[in-house]
Structure 1
């Protein structure tokens, strides 16, 4: 076997390792981000609009929940295998949704933080 030839796939290896790592990492980022939002809300600094903060927390929370559920789903493939095409579609939708909600949450927080500081 030369370096140019692809390695043969082993059947006992789940092919979604990078997606699992991404979801695991995104879950951690969501938890840290939620903690950061609460740290800025301690009341000693700028005053934030409570409705905006709730929107930020919901968006980041949804990203974290999707990431955690998708990581759990990928782990469960070792116990109950599913069709590769179906799992690929689910992973793709999960990647898009989790990244979208995290971006919305962090972007909303930056806008909320900037408007509170500039008052």
Structure 2
């Protein structure tokens, strides 16, 4: 989930809304970043393009921008206190929290 946070925080800092593709990460491979962008697109956290001709074995997407829900999630994720509380909460032990939006739900709940 730290990669989801990293991608969103990068996306919302773009001065012209649209990104120049996926952000690079020192900790994660390009394939991991592309896969997480693909997952985030599935739950509405980002707008992304899914290329048709890829040699990657994993689903992959290219970041375009972040919609309203992505900005809300990123705002909550930017607050380290809220982020850590959500990560350590009851949703932290799920196999893939991004796929079912539970961490997003947890963060929204913490904010309200």
TM over 0.5: no
Give the greater-gyration-radius structure (CA).
1
TM-score under structure 1 length normalisation: 0.28
- Judging by fraction of residues, say which structure has more helix: 1
